[in-house]
């Protein structure tokens, strides 16, 4: 508990003890009926002021600022009028139980905020700066791009950069939700937020602190609470008109029947019950807590949702459009097949291609050399010639070898028949004879198929958008079981496709990771960026950020959003139904003050507890 919560609990307990003592004393004291009313009032005023001074202060301060109609005003009005008509026990009881509800609310808000505010621990106060051989402790904001910093065991990496000294393991659970340590070594890029587990490392920073991964995440988290859902906005507007309406209703209930019957005490008492019941605490508090709990539950899974409005919209998603490269696939090339012909074997084809490509830094060339996996004997390579956009020609051990695409083979007059394989094909020829080809493909991520399957089980249609060739797109879509695909798309084409998918009945989400995805991320109902390590533009444009590259977490986010939305509707329905029933019963004189207190405080506590269920939900069921 916080200090303010402990103080409130102390006041509640003290009030309860004094309230019980005064009530029992007036029941058992033989001469109680001879005690003057002002003495009884003073006895009850002590516990009343102990527990209610905060409400009284807030109400008076709000009235002074012109903000009259809120729950504090309702509580003050109800209890003061109860005192005037000498219903002292009921006045104290209403304030006591209201404060009990407030305490429950405070604890609930603290827990729901705690699941997100734990991210604030990622922000370092100081950094170990290495300069001229000395180590000095400086503020994180004073670190600049290119500075050398030291991160000791147990410390968090404060700023993104490259390791220039040391090897270690990092715990990145706070960023990605993944608890398995990641091994890093000299030359590796590291992002801020990870905890150094095993050995001291030194890092050369590649950005200012304000541009680091942690700083961007904290900025997104701080902005999230300002973006209300439609449900929250509705409740805020509802309470703005609802509160003055019930005050007028209570006033009319007190005055009109009293003028007709002359029974002022009876109808004022009913009006008080009406006031206590009408307090909109359960709605005003439980709905934001439910959404905040949902955002907190998502953050535990490594999913950052930028506001409750996006959490609500996510629950309405029925179509997910997915970029291929970097989202469904790893975005890195790998040799997936080697074909040999004319008496050569696969090793020969791979060897000749690797020797031809050994001098190139092109991703395709690098993937071929990596697949060969043996040391290149440069003494065997002569007369390397690169044909721009076509391939490479070289003498390998005295043999003229060609490695390239269809255009190179055509230029060299070499034919290659057979069915064209799926993926990027590097043809290889030696001494004017075609000897085979190497197929290079972008690897599908291990969890992509699982994610697509979970989307289908949740009733969500999947559409893949890619700039790749038709054959490659079709193969990936069939492999993963994607419902539809669109190939050979430019960034503007992706926007057009997403626009064609939009409708008024449901929401369309787009998932991407590159800077070219920023326009379509903005255009979709829900833009989702893959990975905190992705493009800054994509992360800024997105409404939801997956803190790692695991697409399978997105279906969990959808389930969390739907669970949160169900709980919000449950709370709204329950609170309004109970209040409407007790308001009618109170106006008819059937419901007493204790039932009125339950309809206010009791319903608030139950709605808050129900809303807190979102925190414990992980989206797996």
Residue where one domain finishes, among candidates 376, 408, 443 = 443
DSSP letter for 421, please: P
**Does residue 151 form part of some domain?**
yes
Considering its fold, how many domains does the chain have in total? 2
* Mean pLDDT calculated for residue range 497-517: 81
Cβ-based burial of 140 (10 A; exposed 0-12, middle 13-18, buried ≥19): buried
**Domain-located, residue 429:** yes
8-state DSSP, 473: H
The pLDDT tens digits for 305-352 are 887 788 888 999 999 999 887 788 877 778 888 988 888 899 999 999
Q: How far apart are CA 455 and CA 566, in angstroms?
A: 19
Q: What is the percentage of the chain residues whose pLDDT exceeds 70?
A: 83
What is the model's pLDDT at position 232?
56
Phi, psi (rounded to 5 degrees) for 387: -95, 110
Question: Parallel, antiparallel, or unpaired for β 424-430 and 201-205?
Answer: unpaired
In the prediction, which pLDDT does 389 show? 66
Task: Tell which wins on pLDDT, 611 or 347.
Answer: 347
With residue 257 as reference, give the H or E element that holds it.
helix 230-261
> What local confidence, expressed as pLDDT, does residue 531 receive?
66
Indicate the pLDDT class of residue 401, thresholds 50, 70 and 90.
Answer: very high
The DSSP H or E segment spanning 128 is: strand 126-131
Check whether 8 has a pLDDT greater than 90: no
Residue at 175 is within a domain: yes
Of residues 532 and 405, the one with the higher pLDDT is: 405
| CB-count burial class (<10 Å; 0-12, 13-18, 19+) for 378 | exposed
- Evaluate whether residue 582 is within a structural domain: no
Spatial distance between the Cα atoms of 56 and 70, rounded to a whole number of angstroms = 12
221-226 own/partner pairs: CB under 8 Å, 24+ apart:
221/116, 221/119, 221/120, 221/304, 223/306, 223/307, 224/116, 224/295, 224/305, 224/306, 224/307, 224/308, 225/292, 225/307, 226/307
**Pick from 207, 225, 258: which residue ends a domain?**
207
Helix (H, G, I), strand (E, B) or coil at 324: coil
> Is a pLDDT exceeding 80 seen at residue 516?
no
**Greatest mean pLDDT range, 90-94, 172-176, 449-453, 589-593:** 449-453
Q: Per-residue confidence at 177, pLDDT binned at 50, 70, 90?
A: very low
Q: How far apart, in whole angstroms, are the C-alpha atoms of residue 589 and residue 573?
A: 24
Distance in angstroms (rounded) separating the CA atoms of residues 480 and 67: 57
Give the pLDDT score at 230. 62
Q: For the chain, what is the mean pLDDT?
A: 81
DSSP string, 6-57: HHHHHHHHHHHHHHHHHHHHHHH-TTGGGS-HHHHHHHHHHHHHHHHHHHHH
Instruction: Read off the pLDDT of residues 233-252 as tens digits, 9 standing for 90 and up.
Output: 565 566 667 777 877 888 88
CA gap 182, 173 in Å, rounded: 10
pLDDT value at position 238? 66
The answer to whether residue 383 sits within a structural domain is yes
pLDDT band per the 50, 70, 90 thresholds, residue 151: very high
Q: Which pairing describes strands 526-530 and 507-512: parallel, antiparallel, or unpaired?
A: parallel
Q: Is the pLDDT of residue 588 over 60?
A: yes
Q: What is the pLDDT of residue 163?
A: 93
Pick the last residue of a domain from 160, 177, 207: 207
Is pLDDT above 50 for 224? no
What pLDDT shows up at residue 65? 81
Among 59-63, 268-272, 371-375, 613-617, top mean pLDDT goes to 371-375
* In contact, 369 and 358? CB cutoff 8 Å: yes
Enumerate long-range contacts of 234-239, CB under 8 Å, 24 or more apart. 235/280, 235/283, 235/284, 235/287, 235/572, 236/284, 238/280, 238/283, 239/280, 239/283, 239/284
Higher pLDDT, 118 or 566: 566
Q: % helix / strand / coil in the chain, to the nearest 5?
A: 55, 20, 25
Give the number of C-alpha atoms closer than 13 A to the C-alpha of residue 315, restricted to the C-beta side. Answer: 22
3-state SS class at 199? coil
Q: What secondary structure does DSSP assign to 130-189, as a single string? A: EETTEEEEEEGGG--TT-EEEE-TTPBP-S-EEEEE--EEEE-HHHHS--S-EEE-TT-E
Domain membership flag for residue 557: no
Return the bridge partners of 461, or none.
319
Mean pLDDT (whole number) for 187-212: 86
Top mean pLDDT of 52-56, 223-227, 511-515 is at 52-56
Are 474 and 445 in contact, with CB atoms under 8 Å apart? no
For residues 98-103, give the mean pLDDT.
76
Nearest Cα to Cα of residue 314 among 326, 303, 328: 303
Mean pLDDT of 190-199: 84
Catalytic residue numbers read: 323
User: Exposed (0-12), middle (13-18) or buried (19+): which is 581, by Cβ within 10 Å?
Assistant: middle
Digit-coded pLDDT (tens) for 20-35: 999 898 888 888 788 8
Range of the domain at 398: 331-443
Q: Give the domain CATH number at 342.
A: 3.40.1110.10
What CATH number did the domain enclosing 161 receive?
Answer: 2.70.150.10
Tens digits of residue pLDDT in 539-561 = 667 788 887 778 888 998 899 99
**Highest averaged pLDDT of the listed ranges 23-37, 85-99, 529-543:** 23-37
Least confident residue range of 49-63, 175-189, 322-336, 527-541: 527-541
């Amino acid at each position: 508990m916080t200090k303010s919560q402990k103080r409130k609990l102390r006041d509640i307990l003290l009030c309860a003890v004094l309230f019980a003592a005064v009530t029992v004393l007036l029941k058992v004291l033989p001469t109680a009926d001879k005690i003057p009313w002002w003495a009884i009032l003073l006895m009850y005023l002590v516990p009343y002021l102990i527990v209610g001074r905060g409400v009284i202060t807030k109400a008076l301060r709000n009235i002074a600022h012109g903000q009259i109609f809120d729950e504090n005003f309702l509580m003050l009005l109800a209890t003061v009028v109860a005192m005037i008509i000498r219903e002292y026990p009921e006045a104290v009881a209403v304030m006591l139980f209201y404060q009990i509800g407030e305490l429950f609310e405070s604890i609930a808000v603290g827990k729901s905020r705690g699941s997100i505010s734990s991210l604030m621990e990622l922000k370092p106060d100081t950094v170990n700066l290495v300069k001229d051989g000395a180590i000095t402790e400086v503020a994180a904001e004073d670190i600049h791009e290119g500075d050398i910093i030291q991160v000791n065991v147990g410390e968090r990496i404060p700023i993104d950069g490259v390791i220039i000294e040391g090897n270690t393991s990092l715990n990145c659970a706070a960023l990605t939700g993944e608890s398995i340590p990641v091994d890093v070594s000299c030359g590796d890029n590291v992002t801020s937020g990870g905890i150094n587990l095993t050995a001291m490392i030194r890092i050369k920073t590649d950005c200012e602190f304000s541009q680091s991964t942690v700083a961007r995440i904290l900025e997104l988290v701080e902005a999230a609470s300002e973006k209300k859902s439609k449900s929250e906005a509705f409740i805020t507007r509802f309470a703005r008109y609802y509160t003055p309406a019930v005050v007028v209703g209570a006033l009319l209930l007190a005055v009109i029947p009293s003028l007709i019957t002359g029974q002022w005490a009876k109808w004022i008492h009913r009006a008080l019950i009406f006031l206590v019941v009408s307090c909109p605490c359960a709605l005003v508090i439980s709905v934001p807590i439910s959404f905040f709990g949902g955002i907190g539950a998502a953050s535990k899974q490594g999913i950052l949702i930028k506001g409750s409005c996006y959490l609500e919209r996510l629950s309405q998603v029925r179509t997910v459009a997915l970029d291929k490269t970097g989202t469904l696939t790893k975005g890195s090339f790998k040799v997936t097949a080697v074909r040999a012909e004319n008496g050569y074997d696969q090793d020969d084809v791979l060897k000749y291609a690797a020797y031809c490509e050994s001098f190139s830094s092109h991703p395709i060339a690098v993937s071929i050399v990596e697949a060969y996996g043996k040391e290149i004997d440069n003494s065997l390579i002569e007369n390397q010639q690169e044909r721009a956009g076509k391939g490479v020609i070289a003498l390998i051990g005295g043999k003229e070898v060609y490695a390239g695409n269809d255009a190179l083979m055509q230029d060299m007059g070499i034919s290659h028949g057979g069915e064209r394989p799926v993926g990027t094909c590097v043809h290889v020829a030696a001494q004017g004879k075609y000897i085979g080809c190497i197929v290079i493909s972008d690897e599908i991520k291990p969890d992509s198929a699982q994610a697509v399957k979970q989307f289908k089980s949740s009733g969500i249609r999947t559409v893949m958008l890619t700039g790749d060739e038709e054959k490659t797109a079709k193969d990936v879509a069939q492999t993963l079981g994607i419902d539809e695909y669109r190939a050979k798309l430019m960034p503007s084409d992706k926007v057009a496709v997403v626009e064609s998918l939009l409708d008024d009945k449901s929401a369309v989400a787009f998932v991407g990771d590159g800077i070219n995805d920023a326009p379509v991320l903005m255009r979709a109902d829900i833009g989702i960026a893959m990975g905190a390590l992705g493009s800054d533009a994509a992360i800024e444009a997105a409404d939801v950020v997956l803190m790692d590259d695991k697409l399978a977490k997105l279906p969990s986010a959808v389930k969390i959003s739907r669970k949160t939305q169900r709980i919000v509707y449950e709370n709204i329905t329950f609170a309004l139904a109970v209040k409407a029933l007790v308001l009618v019963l109170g106006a008819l004189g059937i419901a007493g003050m204790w039932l009125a207190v339950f309809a206010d405080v009791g319903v608030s506590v139950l709605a808050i507890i129900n809303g807190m269920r979102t925190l414990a939900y992980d989206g797996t069921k």
